[in-house]
Structure 1
Amino acid sequence: MGRMGLDWVTPYDTAALLWFLVLWVGYTLYTDHTPARHRTISSAISRRRTLWLREAGHRDLRMIDTAILGNLITGVGFFASTTILVIGGLMAMMGVTAQVRTALSSLPLAGAASEAALEAKIAFLLAIFIYAFFKFAWAFRLANYCSITVGCLPASAHADSERSRAISQAAAVLSIRSGHHFNRGLRAYFFALGALGWLVHPWLFALVSTGVVIVLYRREFNSQAVIELRRLEETESRSD
């Protein structure tokens, strides 16, 4: 086989990779495509986005809203530009796999790996970050589209008009979709931390990936932040 053939793949590598994919795909399906999605912090924030942009229609001075939009765009842009740097670093690593292999071999848990194996693992990391970049780039564009749509809101005197409500709803959808893709990009970053373990040992790859899902689940469903948001929604529903 050629240098990038599959002769380097061990049963441990295969098992760890399959476990990683099951975790990522399974967690994404559970969090984004089952009834459990309504209990996530992302869902709670999406409802906040809708309420925020509905309230924006009742304000004549929208400096608060433009400041929020600017902060959101800056955050997404930061991750998009950072991801480009990470991709460049990984591409540079592909050209010095011999040195990287030597450096990794000094780690306590590092197993023996050929240069072909190391190149394939770096390429796998590269694919994850390319995916993350596309998510961040699309989130950035949607955040800009949301800003433009908010700029179309009429004066507060017409806030209850059908046109104003339609613009607020469209802006909310754009903001929610931007947040959705941004969250997918961040999730890729978390799982990339698990994939880093593959450079050392397949079992570390599987272990860290499992830990990533535990951390993500706790923060998405049981963190103090989501508890406070649920409490806020309950208070608002009682006041209505």
Structure 2
Amino acid sequence: MDFAYWLNEHLIDVLATAWFFICWIGYSEFSRKRAKKVHCLSSVLQQYRKQWILRMLRRDNRIGDVAIIANLERNASFLASTSILVIAGLVTAVASTDKIHVLLTGLPFSEANISPLQLQFKILLLLFVHVFAFFTFTWSMRQYGFSAILLGSTPMHDEDTSNDPSNNFAFNFAKVIDQAGHSYNYGLRAYYFSMAILAWLFNTWLFLLAVAFVVAILYAREFHSKTLKTMIRAGELKGQTQALK
């Protein structure tokens, strides 16, 4: 079997896979660059994180700050643990492709001409996405751990330095927490796009629509959600320059 024949036989699957990665990677790049021009959840949270650290420097009691970082790390830890369970299930599914194939081909809207090999590829793609999510969540956990160490090394309350908005320690502390938040967000996006792959187990066209739907949901929530508008109003961030770029 030459490559041209193979490509002709699996052209739709190749295009669908390309569509998936273009939307996933493309949206990540789009949102990153868009956040530098307009307000979104990530850019607004950047402002709040720096405000948080600046206020923390003015307090002697930082037990609440420790609790916040621990809670953020716990969220990433939960999803990392969930990814391990999903990965274990998908590895089992790869070994049972024939049984799953028989089950899926009998369901409504399922493509009757799908081969066990094609099904195995789709499960492997789903496995890849969750492995990626696991690494991003664990990296987020580590970064929150670094933040806890920075919190422990925070200078004691000093009015002269804590009132300085360009405080170098506060800026870099907030930057570490911000990077941890970005890693957590990348992992969440991987979870969203993995939901679209589930549609591919049934129908390719349904998968293409599901990927587009995920992009639309992510864009609406990150750039036009009511939560974003409320956070902007709460912090009076409208018109301010972006921090921590």
- Per the TM superposition, whether the score is higher than 0.5 is yes
1:115 to 1:235, Cα distance in 2 relative to 1, 3 A: closer
Within-5 A mapping of 1:1-240: 10-34=10-34, 38-111=38-111, 112-157=113-158, 160=161, 165-234=167-236
* C-alpha distance in structure 1 between counterparts of 2:230 and 2:199, whole Å: 34
1:235 to 1:50, Cα distance in 2 relative to 1, 3 A: closer
* C-alpha distance in structure 2 between counterparts of 1:157 and 1:143, whole Å: 25
Q: Secondary structure at the match of 1:69?
A: helix
**Counterpart AA for 2:157:** S
**Counterpart AA for 1:49:** R
TM-score when normalising by structure 2? 0.88
Q: Secondary structure at the match of 1:61?
A: coil
1:237 to 1:198, Cα distance in 2 relative to 1, 3 A: closer
Q: Secondary structure at the match of 1:39?
A: coil
* C-alpha distance in structure 2 between counterparts of 1:201 and 1:219, whole Å: 27
1:9 to 1:81, Cα distance in 2 relative to 1, 3 A: farther
1:9 Cα deviation from its structure 2 partner:
5.1
1:237 to 1:197, Cα distance in 2 relative to 1, 3 A: closer
1:157 Cα deviation from its structure 2 partner:
3.0
Q: Secondary structure at the match of 1:64?
A: helix
Aligned length: 234
When structure 1 is superposed on structure 2, of 63-72 and 20-29 the one drifting more is 20-29
TM-score when normalising by structure 1? 0.89
* C-alpha distance in structure 1 between counterparts of 2:27 and 2:42, whole Å: 14
Unaligned runs of 5+ in 1: none
1:7 to 1:22, Cα distance in 2 relative to 1, 3 A: closer
When structure 1 is superposed on structure 2, of 16-25 and 164-173 the one drifting more is 164-173
More helix by share: 1
Contact preservation (8 Å) 1:8, 1:117:
no
* 1:3-60 CA-partner distances (Å, limit 9, x unpaired): xxx5795332223222222211221111012456642111111211111111111110
1:57 to 1:100, Cα distance in 2 relative to 1, 3 A: same
1:236 Cα deviation from its structure 2 partner:
8.8
* C-alpha distance in structure 2 between counterparts of 1:156 and 1:7, whole Å: 66
Q: Secondary structure at the match of 1:58?
A: coil
Contact preservation (8 Å) 1:152, 1:167:
no
1:198 Cα deviation from its structure 2 partner:
1.2
**Counterpart AA for 1:142:** Q
**Counterpart AA for 1:145:** F
1:232 Cα deviation from its structure 2 partner:
2.2
Q: For the aligned residues, what is the CA RMSD?
A: 2.4
Q: Secondary structure at the match of 1:187?
A: helix
* 1:34-90 CA-partner distances (Å, limit 9, x unpaired): 456642111111211111111111110111101101100100100111111111110
Contact preservation (8 Å) 1:40, 1:226:
yes
When structure 1 is superposed on structure 2, of 12-21 and 43-52 the one drifting more is 12-21
